């Protein structure tokens, strides 16, 4: 059986369309985010994202996993612009989006439950979150850690209800022998981001994975490449993060990168191919590859 090819990208932070911020937003957390964007906007460039999308297209993945922060202020105009961009990335059945904290900056005035992206979050008629998308030997388990937070915070939370449903889902998919790929915006392992950016109920998720297992976890949010593990019932579960898909790269933040993840479900093994932005050519080039043995359940 040929490997299942999954492309992972994250944190595109699409440029806000003109008029994305209205006067009413300036009393909210969006104001702080707008100030931050004046600095970060230079870091995230549409032409970088365009080159990255083309590079993923040339790889012709079986599926694309996008772990959040498509927008900056979670306005309706940005949600509509992000929807138009998603349509260029691939058919909704072939692209799964896990929302990020920037997609849920404020509760009030935010589009209801990410409605404009519905087709990219879950399969028709399926409940979310977690949303389960079964694709051949792989089951994508899409979590939502995006939640409105107080100013100065960028933390995430899954909540008891979502965790409760996740338990039964992992158990069922494990019994069916599917290769379970968990998607979540916030890193679930400690030490990758600071406390103010962290997943609040990471210990509860960790306890659940330790008992019920998963074969791979993908996250974003850190804007850095990160490889870590979480304990599972049959060994360590690999946890992978990618930098922002639109970053030119400066200071401590690397330039844009995406991962081709080739899953061999019979061997419970994955090969990760990292491709990153070349500062010289503006094109994407290979950065290296490595093989990870997953839990041998």
For residues 11 and 224, which CB has a smaller minimum distance to Fe ion in the complex? 11
Smallest distance, Å, CB 69 to Fe ion? 3
Smallest distance, Å, CB 66 to Fe ion? 12
3-state secondary structure of 259: strand
**Which among 255, 252, 233 has a CA at the least distance from the CA of 244?**
255
What are the counts of helices (DSSP H) followed by strands (DSSP E) for the chain?
6, 12
Q: State CA 213 to chain mean position distance.
A: 20
Residues at the contact surface with Fe ion, assessed by CB under 5 A: 11, 69, 100-101, 221
Q: Which residues does residue 132 pair with via DSSP β-bridges, in sequence order?
A: 141
For residues 43 and 215, which CB has a smaller minimum distance to Fe ion in the complex? 43
Tokens found for residue 87 = 């349509």
For residues 41 and 297, which CB has a smaller minimum distance to Fe ion in the complex? 41
Contacts of residue 5, Cβ cutoff 8 Å, sequence gap at least 6: 59, 60, 61, 62, 63, 260, 261, 262, 263
For residues 105 and 173, which CB has a smaller minimum distance to Fe ion in the complex? 105
For residues 100 and 188, which CB has a smaller minimum distance to Fe ion in the complex? 100
Q: Which residue is nearest to Fe ion (CB)?
A: 69
Smallest distance, Å, CB 40 to Fe ion? 9
Smallest distance, Å, CB 185 to Fe ion? 6
Are 152 and 196 in contact by the 8 Å Cβ rule? The answer is yes
Smallest distance, Å, CB 287 to Fe ion? 20
């Amino acid at each position: 059986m040929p490997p299942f090819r999954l492309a992972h990208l994250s944190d595109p932070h699409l440029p806000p369309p003109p008029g994305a911020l209205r006067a009413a937003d300036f009393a909210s957390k969006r104001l702080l985010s707008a100030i931050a964007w004046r600095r970060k906007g230079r870091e995230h460039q549409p032409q970088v994202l365009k080159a990255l999308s083309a590079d993923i297209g040339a790889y012709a993945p079986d599926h694309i996993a996008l772990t959040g922060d498509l927008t900056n202020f979670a306005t309706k105009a940005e949600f509509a612009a992000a929807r138009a961009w998603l349509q260029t990335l691939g058919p909704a059945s072939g692209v799964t989006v896990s929302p990020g904290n920037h997609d849920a900056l404020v509760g009030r005035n935010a589009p209801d439950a990410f409605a404009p992206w519905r087709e990219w979050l879950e399969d028709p008629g399926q409940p979310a979150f977690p949303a389960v998308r079964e694709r051949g030997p792989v089951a994508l388990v899409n979590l939502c850690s995006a939640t409105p937070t107080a100013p100065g915070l960028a933390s995430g939370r899954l909540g008891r209800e979502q965790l409760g449903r996740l338990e039964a889902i992992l158990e069922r998919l494990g019994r069916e022998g599917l290769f379970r790929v968990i998607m979540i915006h916030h890193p679930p392992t400690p030490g990758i981001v600071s406390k103010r950016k962290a997943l609040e109920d990471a210990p509860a998720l960790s306890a659940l994975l330790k008992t019920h297992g998963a074969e791979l976890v993908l996250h974003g949010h850190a804007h850095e490449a990160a490889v870590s593990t979480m304990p599972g019932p049959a060994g360590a579960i690999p946890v992978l993060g990618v930098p922002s898909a639109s970053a030119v790269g400066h200071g401590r933040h690397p330039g844009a990168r995406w991962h081709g993840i080739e899953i061999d479900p019979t061997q419970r093994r994955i090969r990760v191919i990292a491709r990153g932005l070349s500062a010289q050519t503006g094109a994407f080039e290979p950065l290296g590859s490595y093989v990870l043995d997953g839990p041998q359940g």
